[in-house]
Amino acid sequence: MISVTGSATHRQQISNREPVGYMPGSSATDLRSMNAHLPEGRAAKIRHLEPGESLFLQDDPVDSVYVLREGWAFLCQDMKDGRRQILDFVLPGDLVGLGVVEAASYGVETLTACSFASYSRGAFFDSIGRQPALGVSLVRMLAAVEARALEHVTSLGRRTARERTAHLLLELVKRLKRADGKVDMKTLDLPLMLSHVADALGLASETVCRCLSGLRKDGILVLRERRLQVLDLDRLAEEAGLSDHDEFEQDVPPSRARRIAA
Protein backbone atom coordinates (compact mmCIF):
# COMPACT_ATOMS: atom_id res chain seq x y z
CA MET A 1 0.00 0.00 0.00
CA ILE A 2 1.20 3.49 -0.77
CA SER A 3 0.89 5.83 2.20
CA VAL A 4 1.49 9.36 3.37
CA THR A 5 0.52 11.27 6.49
CA GLY A 6 -0.61 14.82 7.19
CA SER A 7 -3.73 16.94 6.76
CA ALA A 8 -4.08 19.99 4.54
CA THR A 9 -3.25 23.20 6.41
CA HIS A 10 -1.82 26.51 5.40
CA ARG A 11 1.01 27.01 7.89
CA GLN A 12 4.38 28.18 6.69
CA GLN A 13 7.81 29.21 7.88
CA ILE A 14 9.89 31.81 6.06
CA SER A 15 13.62 32.39 6.40
CA ASN A 16 16.31 34.25 4.47
CA ARG A 17 18.69 31.34 4.04
CA GLU A 18 20.38 31.08 0.66
CA PRO A 19 18.54 28.62 -1.57
CA VAL A 20 20.21 25.57 -3.00
CA GLY A 21 18.74 24.01 -6.14
CA TYR A 22 18.62 24.24 -9.90
CA MET A 23 16.35 24.47 -12.88
CA PRO A 24 15.95 21.30 -14.95
CA GLY A 25 17.91 21.28 -18.19
CA SER A 26 20.93 23.19 -16.91
CA SER A 27 23.75 21.44 -15.11
CA ALA A 28 25.80 24.64 -14.71
CA THR A 29 23.23 27.02 -13.21
CA ASP A 30 21.73 26.86 -9.73
CA LEU A 31 19.67 29.18 -7.59
CA ARG A 32 22.66 30.50 -5.67
CA SER A 33 23.78 32.11 -8.93
CA MET A 34 20.33 33.66 -9.34
CA ASN A 35 20.47 34.96 -5.76
CA ALA A 36 23.84 36.61 -6.41
CA HIS A 37 22.45 38.61 -9.35
CA LEU A 38 19.45 40.02 -7.48
CA PRO A 39 19.50 43.51 -5.91
CA GLU A 40 20.06 43.56 -2.16
CA GLY A 41 16.89 42.76 -0.25
CA ARG A 42 15.25 40.94 -3.16
CA ALA A 43 17.00 37.60 -2.83
CA ALA A 44 14.91 34.49 -2.42
CA LYS A 45 13.25 33.60 0.85
CA ILE A 46 12.78 29.98 1.85
CA ARG A 47 9.38 28.60 2.79
CA HIS A 48 9.31 25.37 4.77
CA LEU A 49 6.14 23.27 4.72
CA GLU A 50 5.20 20.02 6.45
CA PRO A 51 3.45 17.10 4.68
CA GLY A 52 -0.12 17.92 3.74
CA GLU A 53 0.30 21.70 3.91
CA SER A 54 -0.55 24.12 1.11
CA LEU A 55 1.92 26.45 -0.59
CA PHE A 56 -1.13 28.32 -1.86
CA LEU A 57 -4.75 27.44 -2.46
CA GLN A 58 -6.86 27.48 -5.59
CA ASP A 59 -8.14 31.04 -6.23
CA ASP A 60 -5.47 32.57 -3.96
CA PRO A 61 -3.65 35.65 -5.28
CA VAL A 62 -0.05 34.66 -6.01
CA ASP A 63 2.64 37.30 -6.46
CA SER A 64 5.72 35.08 -6.16
CA VAL A 65 7.50 32.44 -8.21
CA TYR A 66 8.56 29.33 -6.32
CA VAL A 67 11.22 26.70 -6.98
CA LEU A 68 11.00 23.44 -5.04
CA ARG A 69 14.33 22.77 -3.33
CA GLU A 70 13.48 19.60 -1.42
CA GLY A 71 10.55 17.21 -1.17
CA TRP A 72 7.47 16.30 -3.20
CA ALA A 73 4.30 18.29 -3.88
CA PHE A 74 1.47 18.35 -6.40
CA LEU A 75 -0.71 20.80 -8.32
CA CYS A 76 -4.45 20.19 -8.10
CA GLN A 77 -7.86 21.59 -8.96
CA ASP A 78 -10.75 20.98 -6.57
CA MET A 79 -14.34 20.58 -7.74
CA LYS A 80 -17.28 22.02 -5.81
CA ASP A 81 -18.50 18.52 -4.95
CA GLY A 82 -15.16 17.56 -3.37
CA ARG A 83 -13.62 15.72 -6.29
CA ARG A 84 -10.00 16.53 -7.09
CA GLN A 85 -7.80 16.37 -10.18
CA ILE A 86 -4.06 16.22 -9.63
CA LEU A 87 -2.57 18.12 -12.55
CA ASP A 88 1.10 17.33 -12.00
CA PHE A 89 3.59 16.25 -9.38
CA VAL A 90 6.23 18.78 -8.34
CA LEU A 91 9.78 17.46 -7.88
CA PRO A 92 12.99 19.22 -6.80
CA GLY A 93 13.98 21.89 -9.32
CA ASP A 94 10.44 22.46 -10.61
CA LEU A 95 8.92 25.96 -10.85
CA VAL A 96 5.49 26.78 -9.42
CA GLY A 97 3.37 29.89 -9.87
CA LEU A 98 5.07 31.32 -12.94
CA GLY A 99 1.92 31.37 -15.06
CA VAL A 100 -0.43 32.80 -12.42
CA VAL A 101 -1.70 36.22 -13.53
CA GLU A 102 -4.03 37.18 -10.68
CA ALA A 103 -5.73 34.31 -8.84
CA ALA A 104 -4.33 30.79 -9.01
CA SER A 105 -6.37 28.33 -11.06
CA TYR A 106 -4.85 25.48 -9.02
CA GLY A 107 -3.56 24.80 -5.54
CA VAL A 108 -0.22 23.35 -4.44
CA GLU A 109 -0.10 20.78 -1.64
CA THR A 110 2.92 18.99 -0.20
CA LEU A 111 3.32 15.23 -0.07
CA THR A 112 6.42 15.36 2.12
CA ALA A 113 8.24 18.02 4.09
CA CYS A 114 9.21 20.60 1.47
CA SER A 115 11.26 23.75 1.12
CA PHE A 116 10.55 26.27 -1.64
CA ALA A 117 12.70 29.18 -2.78
CA SER A 118 10.32 32.13 -3.11
CA TYR A 119 11.07 35.02 -5.49
CA SER A 120 9.02 38.11 -6.22
CA ARG A 121 8.08 38.14 -9.90
CA GLY A 122 10.12 41.27 -10.50
CA ALA A 123 13.20 39.79 -8.85
CA PHE A 124 12.81 36.53 -10.74
CA PHE A 125 12.59 38.15 -14.17
CA ASP A 126 15.38 40.59 -13.30
CA SER A 127 17.57 37.57 -12.64
CA ILE A 128 16.53 35.95 -15.93
CA GLY A 129 17.50 39.16 -17.75
CA ARG A 130 20.91 39.22 -16.09
CA GLN A 131 21.66 35.54 -16.74
CA PRO A 132 20.86 34.29 -20.27
CA ALA A 133 21.68 30.73 -19.21
CA LEU A 134 18.79 30.84 -16.76
CA GLY A 135 16.51 32.03 -19.56
CA VAL A 136 17.54 29.08 -21.71
CA SER A 137 16.91 26.71 -18.80
CA LEU A 138 13.50 28.27 -18.24
CA VAL A 139 12.47 27.80 -21.89
CA ARG A 140 13.62 24.17 -21.85
CA MET A 141 11.77 23.52 -18.62
CA LEU A 142 8.54 25.11 -19.86
CA ALA A 143 8.75 23.06 -23.07
CA ALA A 144 9.09 19.89 -20.98
CA VAL A 145 6.13 20.89 -18.81
CA GLU A 146 4.00 21.52 -21.90
CA ALA A 147 4.94 18.17 -23.44
CA ARG A 148 4.22 16.40 -20.15
CA ALA A 149 0.81 18.08 -19.94
CA LEU A 150 -0.03 16.83 -23.44
CA GLU A 151 0.95 13.31 -22.40
CA HIS A 152 -1.41 13.61 -19.43
CA VAL A 153 -4.25 14.64 -21.75
CA THR A 154 -3.57 11.58 -23.90
CA SER A 155 -3.60 9.37 -20.81
CA LEU A 156 -6.90 10.79 -19.57
CA GLY A 157 -8.52 10.61 -22.99
CA ARG A 158 -7.17 7.48 -24.68
CA ARG A 159 -4.91 5.26 -22.59
CA THR A 160 -6.33 2.29 -20.72
CA ALA A 161 -6.18 2.25 -16.93
CA ARG A 162 -3.16 -0.05 -16.98
CA GLU A 163 -1.39 2.08 -19.60
CA ARG A 164 -2.06 5.24 -17.59
CA THR A 165 -0.66 3.69 -14.43
CA ALA A 166 2.48 2.40 -16.15
CA HIS A 167 3.03 5.69 -17.99
CA LEU A 168 2.77 7.80 -14.82
CA LEU A 169 5.13 5.58 -12.84
CA LEU A 170 7.69 5.52 -15.65
CA GLU A 171 7.42 9.31 -15.97
CA LEU A 172 8.10 9.77 -12.25
CA VAL A 173 11.04 7.36 -12.33
CA LYS A 174 12.64 9.25 -15.22
CA ARG A 175 11.97 12.68 -13.73
CA LEU A 176 13.55 11.62 -10.45
CA LYS A 177 16.56 10.30 -12.33
CA ARG A 178 17.00 13.60 -14.17
CA ALA A 179 16.62 15.59 -10.94
CA ASP A 180 19.22 13.45 -9.19
CA GLY A 181 21.58 11.37 -11.31
CA LYS A 182 22.37 9.18 -8.29
CA VAL A 183 18.81 7.86 -8.09
CA ASP A 184 18.52 4.11 -8.57
CA MET A 185 15.76 3.62 -11.14
CA LYS A 186 15.20 0.06 -9.92
CA THR A 187 14.25 0.98 -6.34
CA LEU A 188 13.09 4.39 -5.17
CA ASP A 189 10.78 6.19 -2.77
CA LEU A 190 7.33 7.34 -3.95
CA PRO A 191 5.47 9.18 -1.16
CA LEU A 192 2.05 8.56 -2.69
CA MET A 193 -1.26 7.05 -1.61
CA LEU A 194 -3.49 5.19 -4.01
CA SER A 195 -5.79 8.22 -3.95
CA HIS A 196 -2.99 10.45 -5.30
CA VAL A 197 -2.34 8.12 -8.22
CA ALA A 198 -6.08 7.78 -8.84
CA ASP A 199 -6.65 11.54 -8.78
CA ALA A 200 -3.77 12.07 -11.20
CA LEU A 201 -5.10 9.45 -13.63
CA GLY A 202 -8.84 10.09 -13.39
CA LEU A 203 -9.43 6.59 -12.00
CA ALA A 204 -10.95 5.04 -8.90
CA SER A 205 -8.50 3.92 -6.21
CA GLU A 206 -9.78 0.37 -6.62
CA THR A 207 -8.92 0.47 -10.33
CA VAL A 208 -5.39 1.68 -9.61
CA CYS A 209 -5.01 -1.10 -7.04
CA ARG A 210 -6.02 -3.71 -9.63
CA CYS A 211 -3.58 -2.25 -12.18
CA LEU A 212 -0.71 -2.33 -9.69
CA SER A 213 -1.58 -5.89 -8.72
CA GLY A 214 -1.55 -6.91 -12.38
CA LEU A 215 1.82 -5.26 -13.01
CA ARG A 216 3.19 -7.00 -9.93
CA LYS A 217 1.86 -10.41 -10.96
CA ASP A 218 3.41 -9.95 -14.41
CA GLY A 219 6.83 -9.32 -12.86
CA ILE A 220 7.08 -5.68 -13.96
CA LEU A 221 7.06 -3.73 -10.69
CA VAL A 222 6.21 -3.81 -7.00
CA LEU A 223 4.80 -0.74 -5.24
CA ARG A 224 4.45 -1.13 -1.50
CA GLU A 225 4.77 1.19 1.51
CA ARG A 226 6.17 4.18 -0.36
CA ARG A 227 8.73 2.06 -2.21
CA LEU A 228 8.68 1.36 -5.94
CA GLN A 229 10.72 -1.56 -7.18
CA VAL A 230 10.98 -1.70 -10.97
CA LEU A 231 11.66 -5.29 -11.95
CA ASP A 232 11.68 -4.78 -15.72
CA LEU A 233 12.10 -1.23 -17.05
CA ASP A 234 11.71 -2.21 -20.70
CA ARG A 235 8.44 -4.01 -20.07
CA LEU A 236 7.20 -1.05 -18.02
CA ALA A 237 7.87 1.14 -21.07
CA GLU A 238 5.93 -1.29 -23.26
CA GLU A 239 3.00 -1.19 -20.85
CA ALA A 240 3.14 2.63 -21.06
CA GLY A 241 2.93 2.45 -24.86
CA LEU A 242 6.52 3.53 -25.48
CA SER A 243 8.91 1.78 -27.82
CA ASP A 244 11.85 2.37 -25.47
CA HIS A 245 12.07 3.66 -21.90
CA ASP A 246 14.94 5.92 -23.05
CA GLU A 247 12.35 8.12 -24.80
CA PHE A 248 11.84 9.68 -21.38
CA GLU A 249 15.54 10.62 -21.19
CA GLN A 250 14.92 13.61 -23.45
CA ASP A 251 14.63 17.09 -21.93
CA VAL A 252 11.28 17.29 -23.70
CA PRO A 253 9.21 14.09 -23.38
CA PRO A 254 7.80 12.52 -26.56
CA SER A 255 4.82 14.42 -27.96
CA ARG A 256 2.82 11.23 -27.86
CA ALA A 257 3.40 7.63 -26.83
CA ARG A 258 4.24 5.23 -29.62
CA ARG A 259 2.58 1.89 -29.26
CA ILE A 260 4.49 -1.31 -29.77
CA ALA A 261 3.50 -3.11 -32.95
CA ALA A 262 1.74 -6.33 -32.18
pTM: 0.80
Whole-number Å distance between alpha carbons of 115 and 166: 29
The dihedral built from the CA positions of residue 160, 161, 166 and 169, taken in this order, carries a sign that is positive
Three-state secondary-structure class, residue 116: strand
CATH number for the domain formed by residue range(s) 158-249: 1.10.10.10
The dihedral built from the CA positions of residue 198, 204, 205 and 207, taken in this order, carries a sign that is negative
- Provide CATH 2.60.120.10 ranges for the chain: 13-141
Instruction: Specify the DSSP class assigned to residue 61.
Output: B
- The answer to whether the CB of 53 falls within 8 A of the CB of 116 is no
Q: What is the pLDDT along the chain (262 residues), one digit of tens a residue?
A: 443 333 444 334 433 333 333 344 333 345 556 666 666 566 789 999 999 999 999 999 999 999 999 999 999 999 999 999 999 999 998 999 998 878 999 999 999 999 999 998 888 888 888 888 888 888 888 898 999 999 999 999 999 999 999 999 999 999 988 877 777 788 899 999 999 999 999 999 999 999 999 999 999 999 998 899 999 999 999 999 986 555 555 444 444 434 433 3
CATH fold of 13-141 reads Jelly Rolls (2.60.120)
- Provide CATH 1.10.10.10 ranges for the chain: 158-249
